[in-house]
Chain A
Amino acid sequence: GAVVSQHPSWVICKSGTSVKIECRSLDFQATTMFWYRQFPKQSLMLMATSNEGSKATYEQGVEKDKFLINHASLTLSTLTVTSAHPEDSSFYICSARDFRKGTGIYEQYFGPGTRLTVT
């Protein structure tokens, strides 16, 4: 099956520093990847859609200058949380989309998530 990895799985950083999270599709090419944020005991909130070779599309209310997304290749997207603050502490999950010719539908595969704690 399709595998998506994220690195790091957890990170603790000091307020004011920047943190980069990587998302990789390991056995397929993903022209589109998505970044989600999940608060404790809540659902996933879509932050942005990342398309390879173009600028990310951010959801309303998400600061694009704070959450920098780069999708430089068909297997890698990165999310950089710039000048992180404690309120940015959250669980960040990426997913990569693969078009399945057999079913004719897009399927999304999720990474294991990255827990960010800003102190």
Chain B
Amino acid sequence: GNSVTQTEGPVTLSEEAFLTINCTYTATGYPSLFWYVQYPGEGLQLLLKATKADDKGSNKGFEATYRKETTSFHLEKGSVQVSDSAVYFCALSDRGNTPLVFGKGTRLSVIA
């Protein structure tokens, strides 16, 4: 079945540091890939997405590129801020009538 594996947290960075959260997936066919963010006490918000190979999703300074050859969708940001502290979930969706499959989440803490 489909699955997502992402960097185990927690990840702690200083402000303005470079961020990478790894995400690899297993899926049949050509899934769409997503990164969601969950701020403390809130639900999930879509951060970015990519629907086909070599697509780059970007939002709020975050980027991720759909790499079919390595089955990866790593999340990056060049300079993190304290406000980026949250839990980040990588997810995939096949094109059928099935729900998102989530990774376990990575908790990011950014300290000033």
Residues of A within 8 A of B (CB): 6, 32, 34, 41-44, 46, 49, 93, 95, 97, 103-113, 115
CB distance A105 to B89 under 8 Å?
no
CB distance A46 to B99 under 8 Å?
yes
- Lowest 7 A-B CB distances belong to which pairs? A110-B44, A112-B43, A113-B43, A43-B104, A110-B43, A43-B105, A105-B32
A32 to B107, CA, bound (A): 29
Chain A, residue nearest B4 (CB):
A43
Q: Interface residues of B, CB < 8 Å — how many?
A: 21
Return chain B residues, CB-CB under 8 Å to A41. Answer: 107
CB distance A44 to B42 under 8 Å?
no
CB distance from B81 to the nearest CB of A (A): 22
Residue from A105, A108, A109 within 8 A of B51 (CB atoms): A105
Please encode chain B, from 98 to 112, with 1 for each CB lying within 8 Å of some chain A CB and 0 for all others: 011011110100000
CB distance A44 to B93 under 8 Å?
no
The verdict on B97 contacting chain A, using a C-beta distance below 8 Å, is: yes
Residue from A42, A46, A93, A103 within 8 A of B43 (CB atoms): A93
CB distance from A97 to the nearest CB of B (A): 8
The verdict on B95 contacting chain A, using a C-beta distance below 8 Å, is: yes
Contact (A93, B44) CB under 8 Å given A49-B99, A105-B51: yes
A66 to B8, CA, bound (A): 33
CB distance B93 to A110 under 8 Å?
no
Chain B, residue nearest A45 (CB):
B102
